[in-house]
Amino acid sequence: MAKTILICDDDPTQRRLIQAVLEREGFYVLHTENGPEAFERLSTTSGIDAVILDLVMPGQSGIDTLKDIRAAGIRTPVVVLTGNGGIDTVVKAMQAGAQDFFVKPASPERILVSVRNALQMGDLSKEVTRLKKQATNRIGFDDLVGTSGTMMMVRRLGERAAKSNIPVLILGESGVGKELIARAIQGSSERAGKPFVAVNCGALPENLVESILFGHEKGSFTGASDKHLGKFQEANGGTLFLDEVGELPLDMQVKLLRALQEGEIDPVGSKRPVKVDVRIISATNRNLAEQVEAGRFREDLFYRLNVFPIEAPSLRERREDIPALIEHFIRRFNVEEGKRVSGVAPEAMQQLSAYDWPGNVRQLENTVYRAIILADSPYLQPFDFPAISGVSQPVPVPVAQAVEPAVISEQREATAQLEDQPVRILDQAGHLRKLEDIERDLIEHAIGVYAGHMSEVARRLGIGRSTLYRKVRDCGLEGMVKEAG
């Protein structure tokens, strides 16, 4: 998804110039003419990623607007622009909460550098906030990504469940984010900030299940050299999340049922029960009703856990959330890996949205992670997702083998045909042509000379292939590349 930039400037010409620069780089642009309009847009419109704010405007100044934005708790990155580049102006803007500034008229390169830096700071701030919430067990339903109908239903049910201590059973396939829903219930309840202990019941060694869940006393069995509290006591005052609860052995199901009914546990080797105050949220990817009928899950425990069921949808049931999830993962992995991927190319996004994702959100997350690690261009291409698109990444041609004899003869032939049409520096009136026009003709000339072999074209022009492909796209020469190919 394209990043959205809000431009606030009373000069329409300046707005159009900045808009042209940003749209050429794939950004989506919104306009306002004054500070109050910008403040209203930011207060009522979600999805604005950065703001370019003029400091000198009729009525409310840019500095006052920026102060209002920050006072309202809006953390959107702001880049200020001004006709006066004095140090006092810059210091005031930074103290008011700006991330960067530029003096107008600014070059396209300066504008883009400021916007990209601001976006990177915004991504970093969001990631720090997310990690703080996770570390303090305060993740809420606003942190769940997705606005599809099925996800809105999950939010509504989860918010209701959070208002009480009712046992919740989250149902859904592996990888749909059941633990994140459980964390959101905890973070939206009165137990927010208290311990959240997650246990994968399917990964517990059978001979240690009781000790891990309920704890043990020192010397209660061979190897018990120290006292161990167990997960129930670790979660005391907070929430215990029992993931894949259907995997618990039958004998442990009996003890779990007693712990839920009595609010107390019996650690191994203890002479007396221990009271615990724990909220239970369980999850499973199995059909527990069928497990009950087959005798593999206790019926009384099933009814005890299945008081408030929440169905977590698979990713193929909420395809409209895929772009937002991808954007979320790109932002996160950009911060973690120090990358600057801007988004996903439209054709790649179309393929990702159409895919069934049997591994659900977890599979999507890992797929985006791999693509970002390997990406060379600002936008992820279909070949960055070979398992989804079936398109392999182009293999770089070694320099020594870049031009084979057959290709050389093609090049000589093309050169002979094009020698009478060199790239012109001057126009018909004898004046210098625009640099972008000369660059376009030079790239077109090079593609013809080297018969569309883009690795060789890039090498001869002294630029990277990703830069070359971007310039080809900007100059509208894609058709020529396809014909040459």
Q: Which residue has the higher pLDDT, 204 or 224?
A: 204
Question: What is the structure's pLDDT at 161?
Answer: 95
| Most confidently modeled range among 312-316, 439-443, 462-466, 468-472 | 312-316
Question: What is the structure's pLDDT at 395?
Answer: 64
Q: Please tell me if the domain spanning 4-124 has the same topology as the one spanning 141-313.
A: yes
DSSP string, 105-143: S--HHHHHHHHHHHHHHHHHHHHHHHHHHHHTT---GGG
Q: How confident is the model at residue 156 (pLDDT cuts 50, 70, 90)?
A: very high
Q: Is residue 28 within 8 Å of residue 45, measured between CB atoms?
A: no
| Most confidently modeled range among 141-150, 220-229, 450-459 | 141-150
Annotation: CATH topology of 317-389: Helicase, Ruva Protein; domain 3 (1.10.8)
Q: Which CATH architecture has domain 4-124?
A: 3-Layer(aba) Sandwich (3.40)
Given a cut of 90, is residue 166 above it in pLDDT? yes
Q: Which residue has the higher pLDDT, 7 or 217?
A: 7
**CATH superfamily to which 141-313 belongs:** P-loop containing nucleotide triphosphate hydrolases (3.40.50.300)
What are the boundaries of each domain within the chain? 4-124, 141-313, 317-389, 399-484
Q: How confident is the model at residue 95 (pLDDT cuts 50, 70, 90)?
A: confident
Q: Which SS3 state, helix, strand or coil, does residue 276 take? A: coil
Given a cut of 50, is residue 423 above it in pLDDT? yes
Q: Is residue 183 within 8 Å of residue 189, measured between CB atoms?
A: no
Lowest mean pLDDT among 364-368, 374-378, 393-397, 443-447: 393-397
Whole-prediction pTM: 0.71
Phi, psi of 256 (to 5 degrees): -65, -40
238-277 residue pLDDT tens? 999 999 999 999 989 999 999 999 899 988 888 888 999 9
Question: What is the structure's pLDDT at 429?
Answer: 63
Question: What is the structure's pLDDT at 416?
Answer: 47
107-148 residue pLDDT tens? 888 888 888 888 888 888 888 888 899 889 999 998 999 999
The predicted model gives 432-444 an average pLDDT of 80
Distance set, CA 158 to CA 138, 176, 283 (Å): 14, 15, 14
- 242: enclosing H helix or E strand: strand 239-243
63 CB-near residues (< 8 Å, 6+ apart): 55, 92, 93, 96
Question: What is the structure's pLDDT at 398?
Answer: 57
Question: What is the structure's pLDDT at 430?
Answer: 61
Q: How confident is the model at residue 414 (pLDDT cuts 50, 70, 90)?
A: very low
Report CA torsion sign: 81, 86, 87, 92. Answer: negative
What's the token pair of residue 424? 């012109």
Given a cut of 60, is residue 403 above it in pLDDT? no
